Structure 1
Amino acid sequence: MHAKPSPDPMISMWTWLAHDVRFYRTRAKMSGTRLGELLGCDRSTISRIESATLKIDDKQAKILDRIFDTGGHFLRLLRYAELGHDPDWFKAFIGYEKTAASIRIYEALVVTGLLQTERYARAQLQAGRIVDDVEMALEIRKARQAVLMRNPPPNMWVLLNEAVIHQPVGGAEVMREQLEYLLEVSRLPHISVRVVPRDVGAHVGLDGSFSTLESPTARAAYASALPEGRLILAAAEIEWYKNMFEQIGADALSRSASRTLLQQAMEEFK
């Protein structure tokens, strides 16, 4: 059985920490079982720590520094990782997105960035006035969308609040193009697009948009907010968002019925 690859240390402070646990352990020619004994846990726990799916605590960081004689390296990494808001959080999010095997997205207000047409994205960015350089933001968004066509592509499940497909972003022509594109990608085997109809009434998704990302070595979530969102790496919170996605999905139309609704919405923008 082959060990999972180490998470990319360039993605975030947490993946850097996980990477270095494995790096120093293997450099010391120490087994995962032995490190587990020293940290007071089992081999499977070490595996989860090294894949960035489980976080170490202060006590374990101090033990690691003592075992590997790293002069406080692990404790410092832990402190920075725990600071919360990483100024490079979006770069970290894109890193998780690039390697994701599965992506779940719920959007309450606009079409998700991964499925936006260029003209829709431009209209949204110009209206929001949040970014200083719209053209640069468009290039970044286009680069992000390439993940959907990689080989193999991630499996992606998208839930859209019905208001999204009726909100006239950029005018009728732009909206028709956007809805047509949603119909096109919804027929791809690895992409599911479903709509939560208005007649559902109140539901948990009205509180805001979010997404979850999973790969063989890491998990993350993202909660949307203005002026900028929040990257989430805590396992319990990621699980909470996954459960919320399932709750919203229970109220969504089927893929086929959602395509019918998208076609009907296109008629509004003739």
Structure 2
Amino acid sequence: MWDFIAYYLRFQRTQRGLSGEAVGRIIRGSKSEVSRIEIGAERLDGTQAALLDKAWNAGRLFSLLVWYASIGHDPQWFAQYLALEQRADIIRIFASQLIHGLFQTEDYARAVINEGNPPNPEEAVQKRLARQAVFNRQPPPYTAALLSQACLEWPVGSPEIMRAQLQHLLDLSELPDAVIRVVPRSWNVGAHLGLDGSFQLMGGPNFGEVAFSESPGGGRLVSSPADVMNYAVRYERISAKALPEAPSRDLIKSLMEDIK
């Protein structure tokens, strides 16, 4: 479906005698972005599709194509997800069971990855750590994370690995462009929407906003504006259950001290 969208965009552009620059103005992007979409290196998002539908009086055709492509199985979902993560200006994360890959120490990542028995575990570890270079960008993305207390308490690797991992989270929480808050395991919080699993929202000027929902052995990228909005609302409702920044740091310190 994504290949068809790339082909059809180029077909419609050439039929109208338009340049890539002209289409870029329609989708509020650049000529190079249009080129990347047409060769399949990048994907049309829901906002861009709606702009094309309006400009070309396409009767929501592009929007429907993008929606159906988004809900289908995509063997290239992870590469697309990583590309968006590196380009995002705003990243919002909810981690339910494990500490998110962007925040993992090398030893924690290795312990988690080795349990999956991948063909080349060390390569997988280094690829995961390489994603963290996003924090070295100038400027770095604004990153807001909600971490369940469960993912902070679940023992991974060894007590030493877990203490180092929690200290790493405390260090990250001091960065000016990072906010880390904890959803405590308490009767006051009780059942909440985060119990359904981890997810992530990413936004950038060149692709709008997308959501990524995790699942065992895979995941799903969501670009439909209505579906992304549902994830954004879910994030805000979970956020309402989370501790403020300072009490979150205090809880992380307390959990670190309790590790035997």
Q: TM-score, normalised by structure 1?
A: 0.75
Q: Deviations over 1:151-191 (max 9, x none)?
A: 11000000001111111111100000000000000000111
Contact 2:95–2:147 (CA under 8 A) maintained in structure 1: yes
Structure 1 pair 31–99 and aligned structure 2 pair: CA distance change class (3 A): closer
Contact 1:98–1:147 (CA under 8 A) maintained in structure 2: yes
Q: Which residue of 1 aligns with 2:199?
A: 210
Q: Which residue of 2 aligns with 1:247?
A: 237
Q: Which residue of 2 aligns with 1:54?
A: 47
- Residue 236 (1) aligns with residue 226 (2): yes
Q: How many residues align?
A: 236
Structure 1 pair 112–19 and aligned structure 2 pair: CA distance change class (3 A): farther
Superposition CA RMSD, Å: 3.6
Unaligned runs of 5+ in 1: 1-11, 36-43, 66-73
Q: Deviations over 1:81-134 (max 9, x none)?
A: 4672221110000110110000000011010000000100111111233x3321
Contact 1:153–1:190 (CA under 8 A) maintained in structure 2: yes
**CA positional deviation for 1:228:** 1.2
2:119 to 125, 129, 132: 132
Distance 1:145 1:47 in 2: 30
Distance 1:56 1:95 in 2: 20
Q: Deviations over 1:219-257 (max 9, x none)?
A: 221101112111112111111111111100011001111
1:91 to 55, 74, 79: 79
- Residue 101 (1) aligns with residue 94 (2): no
Distance 1:30 1:173 in 2: 54
Contact 2:70–2:224 (CA under 8 A) maintained in structure 1: no
Distance 1:152 1:21 in 2: 37
Contact 2:140–2:177 (CA under 8 A) maintained in structure 1: yes
Secondary structure of the 2:143 match is: strand
Q: TM-score, normalised by structure 2?
A: 0.78
Structure having the higher Rg: 1
Structure 1 pair 64–13 and aligned structure 2 pair: CA distance change class (3 A): farther
Q: Which residue of 2 aligns with 1:224?
A: 214
Contact 2:101–2:128 (CA under 8 A) maintained in structure 1: yes
Secondary structure of the 2:94 match is: strand
**CA positional deviation for 1:18:** 10
Distance 1:19 1:268 in 2: 57
Contact 2:92–2:200 (CA under 8 A) maintained in structure 1: yes
What amino acid is aligned across from residue 129 of structure 2 in structure 1? K
Q: Which residue of 2 aligns with 1:144?
A: 131
Q: Deviations over 1:189-235 (max 9, x none)?
A: 11111000111111110010000100001122110111211111211
Structure 1 pair 238–18 and aligned structure 2 pair: CA distance change class (3 A): farther
Contact 2:95–2:148 (CA under 8 A) maintained in structure 1: yes
